[in-house]
Structure 1
Amino acid sequence: MTLVQRSSLNSIPAYKQGATPGAAEKAFKLSSNENPYPPLDSVVAQLASELGAINQYPNAAAPELVGALSARLGVDPDTIALGAGSVEVAGQLIHATTNPGDEVVFAWRSFEAYPILTHVAGATPVMVPLDPNGGHDLAAMAEAITERTALVFICNPNNPTGTVVDSAAVDAFMARVPAHVLVVIDEAYVHFNTAAGSAIGLDFFRRYPNVAVLHTFSKAYGLAGLRIGYAVAPPEVAANLRKTAVPFGVTALAQRAAVLSLEHEDELQVRIDELVAGREALLATLRDAGIKVTDSQANFIWLSTGADTGTVDVALRAAGIWARAFPGEGIRISIGSAEANEAIATAVITALQEAPAHV
């Protein structure tokens, strides 16, 4: 007997997690954009004291965290909706705004969960190619909007290329977006963005009634393993996000860790500054060696290796660098410790000597 299954899932790829080297290997896992630093000692100590209560359900409303975010961001609590990482909130946004057959527009390549989440919701992804510099082609994205479009994602900085969108360009884009279409500015990597003139999601949320913003505690705050993110959205949208959220999806430990992290942002900023400095130093080293590499405003760099991607990825793994390869397009490498960054530079320079088109 064959069990009844949803046939449309046959064409949807499963999300692919960043590759992990074997335990016996001397290697750096730089495939998932994880923060190389452990959680703050103060956060760990507080969480340890709360482990005795994990037999109880968390407060789904998360009043302490929502209140802290409201005060920190200067927004109404009714505009905040939580989820198990910003990727889960992205899924909530698609479910809350689309009906079967509606369209979701986003740049491509961008965050690889966008098309998966869109298909799962029964909507249709509309993937608009990046410009030649690896950035969003906002003019082309505006052209791609139809009467079926319900949602647009702008990933800023973009994953995996690290590029950013200019504030003036987003204003011009918003002038062409119908008022009923929700524009989501996904800022998973916003803490690493130091580009002058870059669009700031909350500024657009405050100025446009059809803008939402996605943030996460996974990257800069180093809480990827606890799974917590949030949206700031128009109140009616945020209310529907709560309806589409998995009940009790954000654990009490995740809520508490997020609150504590907000209270210690000064300590976290030191780490962010170190990662940004490491990124800039790595980019400079690669360029000094003649490597063509895209500017990045995230906690990773992007190598446009095209047809050589597979060969270069094999060479990097042989040198102990486990990155995220996108066949036929390029390789994303997360910024790591000083030791890891030194190993990245050596491995990339050596590997690309075998692929002279990228030098």
Structure 2
Amino acid sequence: MKDDMLLWDETLFKDPEVFELDYVPEHFDHRDAQMKSLRFCVRPALRGARPVNALCLGPPGTGKTTAIIKLFEEIEKHTRSVIPVHINCQIDGTRYSIFSRIYKKIFGVTPPSSGISFKRLFDKIASTLASREAVLIVALDDVSYLFPEKEIDHILYTFLRSHESLPGFRAGVIVAHSETSLRYILDHRVESVFRPEEIQFPPYKRDEIFAILSRRAQLGFYPGVLSRDVLDVVVDLTAESGDLRVGIDLLKRSCLEAERRASRSISEDDVKKAFERSRFLHLEHVLRSLSRDERTLLRIVAEQPEGKAQSGELYSIYHEVAHSGYTKFYEILKRLEALRLIETSFTGSGMRGRSRIIRLRYDPTEVLTRTEG
């Protein structure tokens, strides 16, 4: 057998765990300003006061969740008088399920699934925290899942106004949202007490992507598995997708492709083959965050020949289907472009040469399949 062939019981992975999407790196780089802002928000809680609420904004894969998890790790190492609870709203999307998570964090057991009212559940949480003189900090991650039925208003109201009737209960909220603004009109009773510190998480720059993926490769692969030239290809594809998670998944899948060939190193062809699957990671995550109208317009684009059309034609179809005006249509276009689902260009024709062509960035079939129902 050739020396450059991988034996059946050998692997190129030194530590495969670092390529899992829920892996929290020991070194969290390129988000110093955001971490500083988050620490500022929670500092009052360390003195027994209510923290400053925070709103973490930015596209998917820009470090919001990791920043919150790292912050909560710091809090738990520093004090027991602050109780941080991270909630994945995609999993826990109701007030009862969220407070059940909080209950489990405080008491170590899950409350009964039936036979106990929300009021009893919350009163026990609040009275226990008050008696311990502890402050609750809850992170609502992927908060868009709480928008239907205005669930977010009920939840924030409970967190932020309950001290008025339950003296001694102190709580703050960190909201993480995959947009550059909240784009949700809160109930005025909630808005008056929420007033968060806005913390923007912009997409990583290419040199930042390179540094992060290079560190992951050093931790996860044996020496010689990934060359600088092949890493550059991974970085370019990740920067194009706008989602760091695509790059992390691409490193993992590229290595598996190399192992499939029994090779001791990853080739550019391995990366290109793996990208056919990794690139849909961003698509699938982003689609889950879209509103009904946003999914409708995206499907309309995907249904056009070659996944492209002039903006005027798209608006006519969208208006007929959704009965919405041009302002909303234009706002949705901007959001879909910001999420890197579509791209726009000017044709040089039309009024003042500013007619726009809207193009889908993905295979129309893949988009239509993933937006059915």
Q: TM-score, normalised by structure 1?
A: 0.31
Q: Which has the higher helix share?
A: 2
Larger radius of gyration: 2
